[in-house]
Structure 1
């Protein structure tokens, strides 16, 4: 059956302590707590720097059976190199420990800066390079730089599919050719609510839908009203059953109907502790289990 997962983007925020997290909860137990409230969390530290295998192993051990992480790809590839000469840096990322998440490895999120325009000659090789399963990823990871020798892990579960989602922030991506490229490579276009700051589109381009809710009035700050969450619940239900919302904001043609799609939805409006509140409310509206099973 197709799955719906609602979660949060990151989990370590000082204002959440004593509000979302219990007062006496040690910081080292915050992931264990959050992962039993939500079935998925975006792992953001990987965006800023390469993590280490032991950290991924610790995150795996802290979370319950059935939990999934999404991983944010390194900004070194997307913002600094801007997809130029990325073979070794991509191998370094794949070797940095993500395989230690084992069956809890979910989609990989690639976020691009608002200054980067759509350039087919830049994006086509990138999409071709993305590994589609852990066998491909392991072979790529083995080509990491020598500096990764003592901080790498190639212990991938064999044959596990890998999914990729892309979040773009420049108007030039509002182009049917971009949608066609995504569908050809089965990469999901992130449905990103950014308080109107960057383009908002809902084209379905893969066998799953990836949503990031950054705030509908003020970026990273404003919470979602009950009515807004009702609206998101209806859209998620439509995507999950393999259709689309009737008023979908598309760039290209409507996607072919499918028997069902997995949906990942992450709240990134963390500044005033709105993210966990909104996520819990949306879960209730969708009739999702409110706590993970707590198994190892």
Structure 2
């Protein structure tokens, strides 16, 4: 076992018109955009899988266009999480996991299960949902991360549930959604959403530096001392953790530059 985890910085998707000017080289064919993004970044969060299924050949093609060590995070289908009773999500979860995602092979990173902002924490139902998330698919290990966006989840009971099933919660740097900085799995997943298009690196350099130090602390097995914890009395295991950090939403025009700036510091 290494002494520290791997830190990967990335963006959401690779198709965005503004990146034709701010990120991709002039005259680069769109068919080469993923290949180029993979050469500059270490991870990409795929949003399209939230809205619809893909073909196995599509996942295989994505995997072939990025280098060794690069991983995709996939946002799980909305039909799995946008429901009143999460315990009834088994058919939708199975459909999502069997569409061909394992064609990504070792390029398959965490699966993000995102919930609507109106979804409240119901402990028994949420644990039933966590029980539905398999540890492997087609012989490939799976990592799961949840993104609740309602304040009712900010209770120690939720943190303990996640730790029980080795599931992470999103460290959300967002104006409205709650942040879950408590490490509950063998990896940490952050979505940095407060950037601006006016900032060349999406986030100001000093803030990128702060996040870099936090991520290094997580990777080394610690817990950053300057982020609010939901369960401050809990002691998280001091073990190396991989870190996935995405510049998402705010400041999207320069999100790739934010990710590259962060990657240089870690």
In the TM superposition, residue 256 of structure 1 has moved relative to its aligned partner by: 2.6
Query: When the two structures are superposed, what TM-score results if normalisation uses the length of structure 1?
Result: 0.83
Structure 2, gaps ≥5 residues long: none
**Partner of 1:213 in structure 2?**
192
- Number of residue equivalences: 260
Contact 1:56/1:97 (<8 A) preserved? yes
CA displacement 1:199-243 (0-9 Å, x = unmatched): 12301111111111111579xxx9311111111011001101001
**Partner of 2:145 in structure 1?**
165
> Which of 238, 255, 261 is equivalent to 1:258?
238
**Partner of 2:133 in structure 1?**
130
Output the CA distance in 2 between the equivalents of 1:260 and 1:121: 30
1:189 aligns with 2:192: no
> Which of 90, 94, 102 is equivalent to 1:91?
94
Match runs of 1:137-286 below 5 Å: 156=138, 158=139, 160-194=140-174, 196-215=175-194, 223-252=202-231, 253-269=233-249, 272-286=252-266
> Which of 11, 28, 33 is equivalent to 1:30?
33
1:18 aligns with 2:28: no
In the TM superposition, residue 83 of structure 1 has moved relative to its aligned partner by: 2.2
Contact 2:195/2:250 (<8 A) preserved? no
Could you say what the CA RMSD is over the residues aligned between the two structures, in angstroms? 1.9
**After alignment, is 268-277 or 207-216 more displaced?**
268-277
Output the CA distance in 2 between the equivalents of 1:173 and 1:81: 16
Contact 1:235/1:245 (<8 A) preserved? yes
> Which of 37, 55, 71 is equivalent to 1:68?
71
Output the CA distance in 1 between the equivalents of 2:252 and 2:122: 37
**Partner of 1:6 in structure 2?**
9
Output the CA distance in 2 between the equivalents of 1:182 and 1:5: 22
